[in-house]
Structure 1
Amino acid sequence: MFIHKIDDELALKLPELKDAERIFELTDSSREYLKEWLPWVDFTARVEDTQDFIKAGRSNFAEGKTLNAAILFEGEIVGMGGFNSISQANKAASIGYWLAPQYQGHGIMTRVVKAFTEHAFDELELNRVEIRAAVGNQKSRSIPERLGYVEEGTIRQAEWLYDHYVDHTVYGMLAEDWHNRIKNTQQ
């Protein structure tokens, strides 16, 4: 089993089929909250849908295309995060994430995204990491902003959310900028 420890409270884990019930339970209990910004919630109607997501994620991970990880807070799954896409050809990845509302406000997602950013640059040797968030999703946007990602622009009508389009703000981080940022904070 793959587990990456972030700190004493947090770890990331490649989800297994036995985790499907907990992930579905979090999704189902947070359904209305998640639907405000995520287009896949209605397609997750049964535990079997979450099992299919886990199977596809593990297959894509094996092929180096994605990395979907369960977020463990004090040993309990509280959300998901990871690389929605990895392009070795372009040395780039895109990070996505969600966290059940009752676990927000503890800095969990900022630490998770920082860990994924470090992994992208230090382990995968990528050059660019991108995060896209709906323009109105201030909670999600605050994470790349807090970590020093550069706001690169807006994609108009980037995503269909059930009955309307939303624009996305694009944030980017380059390996050189990340390493310089870390170097400057250590001095």
Structure 2
Amino acid sequence: MRFELVGEKRGYHHPNSTERWTSRSLRTRKTRCRGHRCDAIIGRVEEQTLTDGTIWLGRPDADDIDAIAEACQDPEIAEWITIPWPYRRTDAEEFIGTTVADGWAARCPIWAVRTAERGRLLGTVSLGTRPRDETAAEIGFWLHPEYRRKGIISRAVTLTCDFGFDPAGMSLIRIQWRAFVGNHASAAVARKHGFRYEGLARLGSDHRGTRRDHWVAARLHTDPPGPAGEWPVDI
């Protein structure tokens, strides 16, 4: 499966990262992407929708605030993702107005996951980079409980990784995944998509003021996309 660009838009939700996003200088080169003219930009990512014909990934906007606020009432999302809790509508407004805007401006794209180009937001998927390390990113994702176990997040991860590694996308060399210990559902997605287990970080993450252990896995641009072996049997 490959991503397809569907045109460009104008105009603390990340499940794994606690880094602040900062803007950086732009360097642009022209390239070609699946028959579409597009810009591969070091320093930011052009806002564009990705699709495989079944799901669509596009930038969340103000129309998605209510859907985000509803989904984030799920205690399981609060258990595994660094969102405020209890989660209020104002938190969704801040996510759209600040986190999403700052992320796209700083080469940390956040996409809404939909099953139609202008359909309801079902979840998000993101790639977060760090300053001065723009060939590596960390993937994060969550999905409304009603739409889990339908292959939706799996398709979203495929599109995101394809775009991340593609020279016409973000030209990444490494995509990292991490999750709090016990998040077996997220681990299953990472393992399925070729992320190789790299270890346990003891008290490696902060979750609303509490240190927690997390698992780490990664996929390189040279790694095959299929299921990865050598994961611990209890993960």
TM-score for both structures, normalised by structure 1: 0.84
Deviations 1:57-102 (A, max 9, x none): 21331232x1111110242211111113355635100001111111
1:61 partner amino acid: W
Q: Any conservation in 2 of the 1:34–1:41 contact (CA below 8 Å)?
A: no
Structure 1 runs not aligned, ≥5 long = 183-187
Within the candidate set 90, 105, 122, 1:78 is matched to 122
1:103 maps onto 2:151 in alignment: no
Distance 1:55 1:85, change over 3 A: farther
Structure 2 runs not aligned, ≥5 long = 1-8, 10-46, 227-235
1:17 maps onto 2:62 in alignment: yes
Match of residue 35 from structure 1: 78
Distance 1:86 1:13, change over 3 A: farther
3-state SS in 1 of match to 2:80: coil
1:106 partner amino acid: K
The size of the alignment, in residue pairs, is 176
Q: Any conservation in 1 of the 2:52–2:159 contact (CA below 8 Å)?
A: no
1:44 maps onto 2:87 in alignment: yes
3-state SS in 1 of match to 2:182: coil
2:104 partner amino acid: F
The higher-RCO structure (CA 8 Å, 6+ apart) is 2
Q: Hey, which of these two has a bigger chunk of helix by percent?
A: 1
**Counterpart Cα distance in 2 of 1:176 and 1:71:** 26
**Counterpart Cα distance in 2 of 1:12 and 1:146:** 20
2:81 partner amino acid: L
**Range moving further from structure 2, 6-15 or 100-109:** 6-15
2:152 partner amino acid: I
Q: Any conservation in 1 of the 2:177–2:217 contact (CA below 8 Å)?
A: yes
1:4 maps onto 2:49 in alignment: yes
Q: What CA RMSD, in Å, does the superposition of the two structures yield over aligned residues?
A: 2.1
Determine what percentage of the aligned residue pairs are the same residue. 26
Q: CA deviation at 1:4?
A: 2.4
Q: CA deviation at 1:21?
A: 1.7
1:168 maps onto 2:211 in alignment: no
1:130 maps onto 2:143 in alignment: no
